[in-house]
């Protein structure tokens, strides 16, 4: 029978597992990609990973995410990570939008979701004894710094950014800066040394800015409003962290530990604007210590509509919210099979089933 999961390994990760097996104590970083509803398919893995396997080997770990990935990692850093992941899956699935909706409405809905997710628990992701959270966002620069909330300016600014990115990813840095909101106990040193063309800012997470940072990290341009006035952060307009860090192509090789990366795809795309540019897929030394786990094609074929949930479903189902919620719920339930496969492989890693990047 085909496995529900696909595994890819960097060279250092493969050598270490071959010599020592896979131990929870070896996992130093857990990344989480942007991708909207696609993140729901990792629900079962998240519950197993943070509610069971990693808890067996307490150590300081970095959890880093963008957009829904940041939301998932913030939930993972709660005192009861399984309950928090279940709240997130329920609240995210329950989103309902009228046929005609503006960016302000979507932003209010997402803010209410985060308010309910962390109601009375905002301090938990900031004080977890082992997990240090980092939330990736984008701050507008150049034309996007001058958008001032005017939709036509934002549209023009993002069109210019997309054109520049098509020429070279480095040219996107003229329009966007990376802002890392990080656990104050961890200075995010592994991200501070330059590794790409983007200017970077580092801001300590606090109860005053956690929800704003999470909202900004998922604020898709033109679909949501930019987030402004984030406590402790440089002034400006903040958007979805996936614009720069869609699948989080970060300098993982700087950490001596392993990177366990549950992902909805079997490859890593650097930025959101690179999705349609297959030559931009990451295959470099940054992935040397990465274990990438993703749903297999055979698993995806068993899901409603033969695919994982995605943002297009809001349009596909239209006002039939009950049908969308039913099918997303089925996909979330099926994600338990991914967790079971991960647990089996972690117990006895079969390197013959693992491909290279």
Contacts of 264 (CB under 8 A, 6+ apart): 33, 35, 38, 39, 41, 42, 294, 295, 308
Q: Are 157 and 142 in contact (CB under 8 A)?
A: yes
Residue 148: per-residue pLDDT: 62
Residue 80: per-residue pLDDT: 98
Number of neighbouring beta carbons within 10 Å of residue 78 = 23
Nearest to 45 by CA among 357, 341, 301: 341
Low-confidence stretches of the chain (pLDDT < 50) are none
Nearest to 230 by CA among 204, 261, 191, 250: 204
Residue 51's alpha-carbon distances to 83, 91, 209, 333, 334, in angstroms, are: 9, 19, 26, 17, 18
Residue 185: per-residue pLDDT: 96
Q: Are 342 and 48 in contact (CB under 8 A)?
A: yes
* Cα–Cα distance for residue pair 259/292, rounded to 1 Å: 8
Q: Which residues pair with 227 in a beta bridge?
A: 238
In the chain, the number of structural domains is 1
* Cα–Cα distance for residue pair 258/148, rounded to 1 Å: 42
Tokens of 340: 């079971």
Angle between helices 103-117 and 81-93 (to 10 degrees): 150
What one-character DSSP code corresponds to residue 241?
Answer: G
Residue 152: per-residue pLDDT: 84
Rounded to two decimals, the pTM is 0.97
* Cα–Cα distance for residue pair 237/224, rounded to 1 Å: 12
Tokens of 160: 């210019």
Owning domain of residue 114: 5-356
Tokens of 216: 């900004």
30 torsion bin: left (phi>0), alpha (psi -120 to 50), beta (else): beta
């Amino acid at each position: 029978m085909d496995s529900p999961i696909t595994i890819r390994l960097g060279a250092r990760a493969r050598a270490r597992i071959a010599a020592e097996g896979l131990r929870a104590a070896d996992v130093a970083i857990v990344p989480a990609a942007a991708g909207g509803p696609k993140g729901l398919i990792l629900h079962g893995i998240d519950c197993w990973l943070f509610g069971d396997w990693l808890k067996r080997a307490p150590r300081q770990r970095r959890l880093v995410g963008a957009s829904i990935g940041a939301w998932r990692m913030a939930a993972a850093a709660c005192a009861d990570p399984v309950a928090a992941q279940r709240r997130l899956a329920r609240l995210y699935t329950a989103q309902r939008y009228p046929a005609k909706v503006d960016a302000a409405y979507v932003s209010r809905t997402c803010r209410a979701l985060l308010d309910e997710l962390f109601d009375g628990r905002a301090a938990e992701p900031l004080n977890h004894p082992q997990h240090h959270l980092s939330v990736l966002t984008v701050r507008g620069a150049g034309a996007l710094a001058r958008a001032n909330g005017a939709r036509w300016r934002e549209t023009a600014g993002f069109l210019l950014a997309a054109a520049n990115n098509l020429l070279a990813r480095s040219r996107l840095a003229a329009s966007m800066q990376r802002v890392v909101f990080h656990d104050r106990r961890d200075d995010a040193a592994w991200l501070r040394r330059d590794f790409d063309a983007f200017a970077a800012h580092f801001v300590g997470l606090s109860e005053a800015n956690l929800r704003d940072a999470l909202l900004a990290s998922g604020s898709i341009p033109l679909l949501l409003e930019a987030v402004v006035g984030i406590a402790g952060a440089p002034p400006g307009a903040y958007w979805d962290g996936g614009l720069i860090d869609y699948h989080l192509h970060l300098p993982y090789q700087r950490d001596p530990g392993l990177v366990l990366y549950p992902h909805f795809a079997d490859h890593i795309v650097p930025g959101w604007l690179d999705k349609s540019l297959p030559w931009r897929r990451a295959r470099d030394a940054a992935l040397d210590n990465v274990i990438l786990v993703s749903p297999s094609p055979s698993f995806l074929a068993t899901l409603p509509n033969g695919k994982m949930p995605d943002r297009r479903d809001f349009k596909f189902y239209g006002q039939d919210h009950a049908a969308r919620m039913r099918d997303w719920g089925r996909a979330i339930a099926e994600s338990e099979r991914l967790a079971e496969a991960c647990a089996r492989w972690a117990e006895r890693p079969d390197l013959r089933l693992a491909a290279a990047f």
